[in-house]
Chain A
């Protein structure tokens, strides 16, 4: 069993690797330029080119992929000749890259008024600015310096190098600086827990993703808590009396609710509850960081939509499984032994009938994920699905990659859990 799980886990890692490469290649092949997208259509060609360089987009594809996966600070620290570190200091919103000097102080460099300035942060958090004077000679005898700037790049500065006038860029997205000759953006890499910076928002993907994932999971969990009991009761009841009126009505009901696309049922529910009855808000309006459960009214319609769409599927599974069990010889034996009807149903039939639906439901997670993306889009719910949709439309490779990794983990992981549960519920099955 342990070996089986191990093999499946390695299959999962392999899948994720393939997926990440595929996503990288596909987004690369996609039309449109991210830098142009960020800067807007009025930016000059030079600005776009500079942005591309600062984002590291001019590097070869395999270098970018490798940097994304495993980071590049350990590679670039050779250029700076100091260890690099990624820390969040007090009073800062996000962690930043620093070079660590021999005495333990953190260093950054910045071009101010045409002069390179060294920013020293001592261990107690005090900052001081010192005019820089540590130029090194390159092979041509020119004075250069590799340092870390304030925006997470390793930069090559040349003494007397003129700052390029970058001008104003797209709304809210000013260029950091452009005094250096070469920019190498620093990355810690996904394997070290850093999915990078979102090109769409200019902020780290990680925290946003965590918040979005939390919202989506909340939605899914609440919906799941409604779907399972309702669907299992309906399915088992229908399966117990095959072809009865109850069975027919439940079957048709579940067929219809499953068939109606999420966006259509969402629209119907909005019209009924928000527009005509005016009892519920029609769109989820979340102020940036408010957790969805703080305003439960907003969750009602999204949860209802998901329940409506998913309940039918589980019901049908449970029904089919119950029918199979009820027709099994051991149930007839139990009847012939003269066991009371309800005892047969509760002790023999239901327990066995639950095996199939539980595992099939786990395999159904793919559908649930898809449903959540659509439901989030219908109601403007700030979940992972919306994040992915927006990122995909923006060609935001870091965000897509991170979201894709989470989704694949969820999808493959639940399948593994389904198989493991299956062996526990049905001891006749053993994986090798």
Chain B
């Protein structure tokens, strides 16, 4: 999880005359072996999430009081949990929860962070100073403490998980975008736009932002992995989604109480979340490696 390493690279500046599609950097991934492995696992989980109602053998909430904490069997392929719910179905629906919440929270933190970064980087001066000081103070704060306090105050819910991750993630994005903006601001086309008398917000969002997109996209990829990591952790600490919702982190913390009677109950959700986060990081790593190779 090395978000901080993503230095502003120059890959985003298309050479004059050649039009590059936004998805072009993504095709690089197939040149990297580990990146491809990551992508395959991600696609697997995305498909599982989309097709959940079709492939899940049971409802994730259906309880079978005759089969509690069962080991895997023909009827329940991965066994059941402490309330007699089918592990496999909960696992499948759990992928929906996490694959929905993570991109939303990343999108929010990137949106907020990009706005603040553009603001500070483009205007500079007092605005920059105030914004960056506040963000520095937030970043100085141990992440886990922020989560604890935010969730403890607002109560655990999907919306509050998104809020907490946005709040924690936005400063990092803002720093990255600010440093990109400081660089791009000095370009001739920005000066041209200023001479034309364009609105500062037009310059920020239509001149600077498109030219900073490369590093922001790569950073966002890294952040999705981080968000899933965080959502899992929050769920595990009991700060995530309220109980009946199938949530991998919450499932682990529930199943951990019965680890001595049914050890496999904690294994499945732990494997699921690990495979997804590892895959996202392999993917992001492959992407970064390939996109910086020919600089």
Contacts and interface: CB of A to CB of B under 8 A. Distances in A.
A27 interface: yes
Contact of A411 (B141, B149, B150, B282): B141
Given A261-B277, A404-B149, A370 B236 contact: no
A259 B41 CA distance: 14
Given A19-B141, A313-B2, A377-B237, A255 B149 contact: no
Given A260-B277, A377-B236, A411-B141, A267 B256 contact: yes
A260 B266 CA distance: 14
A258 B281 contact: yes
B153 A26 contact: yes
Indicate the size class of the contact surface on chain A.
35 or more
Interface residues of B, number: 46
A411 B140 CA distance: 6
B233 A263 contact: yes
B152 A30 contact: yes
Contacts of A415: 140
A373 B278 contact: no
B144 A261 contact: no
A360 B282 CA distance: 22
B233 A262 contact: yes
Interface stretch (A163-171, A388-396, A419-427): A388-396
Chain A residues touching B, majority SS: helix
B83 interface: no
Interface stretch (B53-61, B113-121, B184-192, B267-275): B267-275
Contacts of B263: 271, 275
A80 interface: no
A363 B270 CA distance: 28
Interface string A265-283: 1011011000100000010
B22 to A, nearest CB: 26
B140 A263 contact: no
B145 interface: yes
B71 interface: no
A331 B209 CA distance: 39
A374 B236 contact: yes
Decide if the interface of chain B is mainly helix, strand, loop or mixed: helix
Nearest to B238: A393
B34 A252 contact: yes
Nearest to B231: A261
A313 B263 CA distance: 29
A271 B145 contact: no
A400 interface: yes
B234 to A, nearest CB: 10
B155 interface: yes
Contacts of B281: 255-256, 258-259
A284 to B, nearest CB: 14
A266 to B, nearest CB: 9
A268 B269 CA distance: 11
Given A26-B150, A29-B153, A392-B148, A320 B237 contact: no
B253 to A, nearest CB: 8
A275 B155 CA distance: 35
Contact of A408 (B141, B277, B278): B141
A334 interface: no
Interface of B: 1-2, 4-5, 34, 137, 140-145, 148-155, 225, 229, 232-233, 236-238, 249, 252-253, 256, 259-260, 263, 266-267, 270-271, 273-274, 277-278, 280-282, 285
22 contacts: A259-B274, A259-B277, A259-B278, A260-B277, A261-B232, A263-B270, A264-B271, A267-B252, A267-B256, A275-B260, A282-B259, A363-B4, A370-B233, A373-B148, A374-B237, A378-B256, A392-B151, A400-B152, A404-B145, A404-B149, A407-B142, A408-B142
